Amino acid sequence: MPTSGVSKERPYNSESIAAGLSLAIHEHRLAPGTKLGEDDLSDIYGVSRTTVRTALQSLSHQQVVEIKRNRGAFVAQPSLTEAHEVFEARELLEPRTAKSAARNATADDVALLTDHIVQEHAAMDAGDRGRALYLSGKFHLEIARIANQKTIADMINVLIARSSLIIALYWRRESALCESHAHHALIKSIADGDGVLSEELMQSHLVDLHSALNLHDLPAVEQDLKTMLLGPAQILKST
């Protein structure tokens, strides 16, 4: 019998486990670098290791989990380089997608986007920063869905998940509320069907996010220990 199942008789499968882990990572309940032991997870969810492994492999393909051979699975820790790459990729994909979205959006779509913002504010007011961040990501994903580009939406989904990890590691700004304004402006331009403006707003929003990261002065956590302790100058001698 499971020692500590999350829910008594709920039939968890690999998909729901992957979704649960993914959500926890999005919401910053699981920090980058956290070990995700197969035995631990199979106890928690009350399923076999096989099922857990399937879920972990799925997440590793989205690069939110890193599987090290014979070492196990860990919540990914994107490097500085990867952080830049992720936002550069988003800057290639999302502005043009926002443009398409503005040209496709129905009244229902706009209502849905607005609802996202409302929920995000509610989460923020409730002090649930993690959930607010998750909803903020969903907002971006929703735009790709409105643009009717499933393939691009899938890619953006992965990039958003990785962005959440990047934010956990490298976020600098204290107030995350600055985003709200950008999202509001985006909704308006989409509601107006102004594709060109939507594209511009999304572009500058992403640049804004990108520049709100500590991507220059902070060597993060996982830089080589040698570098952290001795400094770059010493390294040159030792090699």
Partner DNA sequence: GTGCACAAAATTGTATACAATAGGCAATCA
Partner DNA sequence: TGATTGCCTATTGTATACAATTTTGTGCAC
What are the residues binding DNA (CB under 7 A)?
13-14, 35-39, 47-51, 53-54, 67, 69-73
Q: Closest distance between DNA and the C-beta of residue 67, in Å?
A: 6
| Shortest distance, position 121 Cβ to DNA, whole Å | 37
Judged by beta carbon, residue 34 or residue 54, the one nearer its own copies is 54
CA–CA dist 83, 163 (Å, integer) = 7
- Footprint of its own copies on this chain (CB under 8 A)? 50, 54, 57-58, 61-62, 81-82, 85-86, 88-89, 92-93, 96-97, 149-152, 155, 159
Nearest distance from residue 97's CB to its own copies, in Å?
8
Q: How far is the CB of 170 from its own copies (least distance, A)?
A: 16
Of the two residues 41 and 133, which places its CB atom closer to DNA in the complex?
41
The string of DSSP letters for 126-180 reads TT-HHHHHHHHHHHHHHHHHHTT-HHHHHHHHHHHHHHHHHHHHHB--S--THHH
Contact between 73 and 39 under an 8 Å Cβ cutoff? The reply is no
CB of 58 or CB of 77, closer to its own copies:
58
d(CA 163, CA 167): 6
Residue 70 binds which entry of its own copies, DNA, none, CB below 5-8 Å type-dependent = DNA
CB nearer its own copies, residue 100 or residue 136: 100
Is residue 213 within 8 Å of 205, Cβ to Cβ? Answer: no
In 10 A of CB 25, how many CB atoms? Answer: 27
CA distance 21 to 44: 12
